[in-house]
Structure 1
Amino acid sequence: MTTPPSSAPFRFPVAARYAGMESSPLKDIFALAAREDVVSFAGGIPDPELFALEEVTACYDWVLSQQGDRALQYGVSEGELELREQAARRVSRDLPTDASQIRVTSGSQEGLFVVAQALLEPGDVVLVESPTYLAAVQAFAVHGARMIGVDTDDDGVIPEALEEAIRTHHPRMVYLIPTFQNPTGRTMPLERRQAVAEVLQRTDVPLIEDDPYGALSFTGSTWAPIAALPGMGERTILLNSMSKLMSPGVRIGWMRAEGPVLDTLAVAKAAISMQSSVVDQLMVARYLETVDLDAHVARVSAVYRERRDAMSAAIAPVLPDGAHVTRPEGGMFLWAALGEGYDAQEMLADAVEAGVAYLPGWSFYADHADRSTMRLSFVTHSPAVIEDAVARLGEVIAAHRA
């Protein structure tokens, strides 16, 4: 006898690792950014007026006219040689690197997923900064890892807390963003980097170092990655991306590593996406060969600095007594902790109603979230727009004051 069809709508069974993930903070970021009636500080969305459109167009034209048959064909999982050579040249400014040590990814976000696929088993512990990049938490969590947040201060992760967490939790790896961190904008000074490296070497724990923002300096100073410190190159997978420097729409980044793990990363990459877009890889390689990326980044950073200054000046007087706010020396984000009695998630609906959005900070914590926190990106809008929107945000904060 045939069972009559159910009147309930059909639902595909979903893997347990994605249960409850029908939405995500990243999806919500882009939804808010698309609303014309809201000034969004929620996402790190570059101002399209700052894109090097003419140079990128010329590079695509050259690739398609000179290498069209190859550009539109399958490629290799490791990445196209021209791009790996250009990436190696950039990384070698701080850490001697050759093309064989580079693996190309579709942005550093895919790099995180490749690392998780290659290194993590269900139940493994990953130590992360508290707070940390929310999409890294997602990438590790869907592979069954358990994230443990390590205490931080204004100089980044605290070495003593990191050593204690390693001793207690026996992690598979440590994930850090030392320069212009997302979400806080903090940067580890050299002494802190050296102390962290000493802990990792003494405890024999590998480092996943994410550095998508390091070139976006407002002072002209730059910081070599932890991977460049003595003894750290072999135990670090370093992730870089062109998304924040050239264009987020061109999903090209790379990983730098040493030894047998390079083969494992290539196998994991092949299983996930076979290869990154060949035409985009060749375009980026041509761009790095023929365009002065450093000059472009310097122009963009000067604009970002002006917008950082506007947001810092506007937000200081509207924060409650006892609040703490960062003043980053580069990157894209400012982090505010309003303090006891405030819940940034509960405030968000009122803020959006007032025409301004931010990202509540709880989503950046692996555990023990501070719900009074918020991340604000200053890179998308002009100083005048920032000042007006932050003033409206201040009215919302005042209305929620305990």
Structure 2
Amino acid sequence: MPDLRLNYPSIKQEADIFQQYVSGLTAQEKYALLYPAPMIPDAASLERLGAWLHLQPDMLHQQLDVTTTCSGNSAGHCILAVLKDREHTVAIETFTYNNFKLAGQALGYRFRTIDCDEEGMMPDALAQYLQTGSCRLVYVQPTVHNPTCSVMSLQRREAIAAVVRSFNDVYLVEDDAYRFLHASPPPTFLALMPERTIHVCSFSKIFNPFLRIAYILYPKGLLQGIDPIIRITTSGSSALFNAFVQHLLQHALLPPIGAEKRRIAIALHEKITAIFEGLDYRLFPGSYHMWVKLPAHLPANVFVPQMKAKGIDVMSSEDFSVHGNQEYIRIAMGAAWSSPELIPALETIAKGLR
């Protein structure tokens, strides 16, 4: 049975694109790409990144600093590490990305969960909490949330931005790793509120897990000291990955990849709908993970081992909760979408839930 914990969708075209890229390099170019990537992108790289993120042309030069690291996970850890002397609490959604939670806990942060609805964090609940003055850092995943699959509408994003702006020195960390799975996503918080947003832009999910590079975009001067932390923890990314991402952006190779991954996921969505008919779950059409409510008599610490005994690995909601929640499981199909074992595994899970 397949591993249903991994959420990195990969398709054959990615290998073909990379092979074509490498085959076009000269021997000297190949040698030059064996070194670390520059921590600060050059002007041309910034221009392409800004276009990819739909930012105003002058924003990257006048309002933002940009730092390169090896992954979104590294970015989250390094952001928290550089801020830990001034910040001690992070406001998060009811369920949050498990590796961000682990990074914060390792660094001694406290987490405060903010009430959520089907779109994610609720503005009024956030405002009420920020009024206590005990927190100046907010973490959200606004587009195809991991694990709940929620998507914030433009109206919700604008309301959250208004709340953050109404408090002095409050900043929002935007993790938008699954944005590419939405065919027409609302603007990022970075575009709506650049002066208060720390944005993490990773390419490992839209392209391939091997592509270990991410960019942190943040208000000028806010994350002073982050570069040494990146060097100490990961040594940054490589020149090869940096150059390859720029190749992907320059030649507009990523939109077709994203479109193909959405097409595959939507086709999979139709099968899942039939398999899980009558059960309580959330799945965004185009995503590779689903969020399943467990029966009251069957908590995750019982159901997950039952599935593991059948060779099926899924994640408990406890992994995404700071309160030990056992009410849900996350099923991730990124590494298994093409496996002939996937559908039988999903049928086994659905049968177990029934």
Tell me the TM-score normalized by structure 2.
0.90
Contact 1:209 1:238 in 2 (8 A): yes
Per-residue CA shift, 1:200-255, capped at 9, x if unaligned? 111231000001111112xx3222112222xx201111111111111111111111
Deviation at 1:332, TM superposition (A): 2.5
Number of the residue aligned with 2:186: 223
Structure 1 position 371 matched with structure 2 position 335: no
Q: Contact between 1:63 and 1:279, CA under 8 Å: does it hold in 2?
A: no
Shift of 1:278: 1.4
Specify which of 211, 214, 220 is matched with residue 179 of structure 2: 214
User: Aligned equivalents of 2:21 and 2:91: distance in 1?
Assistant: 40
Moved more, 74-83 or 258-267: 74-83
CA distance in 2, matches of 1:291, 1:64: 22
* Structure 1 residue ranges without an equivalent (≥5): 1-37
The alignment status of 1:277 with 2:238, answered yes or no, reads yes
The answer to which of 381-390 and 308-317 deviates more is 381-390
CA contact (8 A) 2:55 2:191 kept: no
Q: Is the 8 A contact 2:5 2:333 kept in 1?
A: no
Change (3 A) 1:135 1:169: farther
1:162 corresponds to 2:126: yes
Question: SS of the residue aligned with 2:22?
Answer: helix
Q: What is the distance in 2 between the residues matched to 1:116 and 1:394?
A: 38
Give the secondary structure class of the aligned counterpart of 1:215.
helix
The amino acid of 1:305's aligned partner reads I
TM alignment of 1:1-400, pairs within 5 A:
38-47=1-10, 49-63=11-25, 65=27, 67-79=29-41, 83-93=45-55, 97-98=59-60, 101-121=65-85, 124-168=88-132, 170-204=134-168, 205-217=170-182, 220-229=183-192, 232-261=193-222, 263-317=224-278, 319=279, 324-367=280-323, 369-379=324-334, 380-382=336-338, 385-398=341-354
CA distance in 2, matches of 1:270, 1:77: 9
For residue 188 of structure 1, give the secondary structure of its aligned residue in structure 2: coil
Contact 2:2 2:313 in 1 (8 A): yes
Query: In the alignment, is the contact (CA less than 8 A) between 2:65 and 2:217 conserved in 1?
Result: yes
Q: Separation in 1 of the partners of 2:287 and 2:314?
A: 17
**1:358-395: per-residue Cα shift (whole Å, max 9, x none)?**
1111110122x431201112333249744322221123
Asked if structure 2 preserves the Cα contact closer than 8 Å seen for 1:344 and 1:372, the reply is yes
Displacement of 1:178: 0.4
Cα 1:315/1:120, change in 2 over 3 Å = same
CA distance in 2 between partners of 1:210 and 1:152 (Å): 17
Cα separation, 2, equivalents of 1:119 and 1:211: 20
Other structure's SS at 2:129 match: helix
Which letter does structure 1 place at the counterpart of 2:260?
R
Amino acid at match of 1:140: G
How far does residue 86 in structure 1 lie from its aligned partner after superposition? 2.5
Distance 1:372 1:95, change over 3 A: farther
- Any conservation in 2 of the 1:155–1:187 contact (CA below 8 Å)? yes
**Identity of paired residues, percent?**
21
CA shift for structure 1 position 133:
0.2
* CA displacement at 1:81 relative to structure 2: 5.6
One-letter identity of the residue aligned with 2:156 = R
Q: Which runs of 5+ in 2 are unaligned?
A: none
Higher mean Cα deviation, 106-115 or 77-86? Answer: 77-86
SS at match of 1:101: strand
C-alpha deviation, 1:196, in angstroms: 0.9
Report Cα offsets for 1:89-129 as digits up to 9, x if no partner: 21235786437732112111111011011112387011111
- Residues 63 and 283 of structure 1: CA distance in aligned 2, closer, same or farther (over 3 Å): farther
Shift in alpha-carbon separation, 1:155–1:75, aligned structure 2, 3 A: closer
- TM-score, normalised relative to structure 1: 0.80
Corresponding residue for residue 13 of structure 1 = none
Distance in 2 separating the partners of 1:172 and 1:268: 21
C-alpha change, 1:64 and 1:370, in structure 2 (3 Å) is: farther
- The residue identity in structure 1 corresponding to 2:319 is S
Whether contact under 8 Å (1:361, 1:375) holds in the other structure is yes
- 1:121–1:308 distance in 2 versus 1, CA, 3 Å: farther
- CA shift at 1:345, angstroms? 2.1
Amino acid at match of 1:247: N
CA shift digits 1:301-350 (9 cap, x unpaired): 10011112322331233x3xxxx311314433211122422211211222
Instruction: Assess if the C-alpha contact under 8 Å between 1:77 and 1:274 holds in 2.
Output: no
1:151/1:157 contact within 8 Å kept: yes
Deviation string, structure 1 residues 155-190 (Cα, Å, up to 9, x no partner): 111112112222236113000000000111110111
Cα contact 1:76–1:274 (8 A) shared by 2 = no
For 1:139 and 1:95, how far apart are their aligned partners in 2? Answer: 33
Q: 1:125 to 1:143 in 2, by over 3 A?
A: same
Superimposed CA distance per residue, residues 119-142 of structure 1 (whole angstroms, 9 cap, x where no aligned partner): 123870111111010000111111
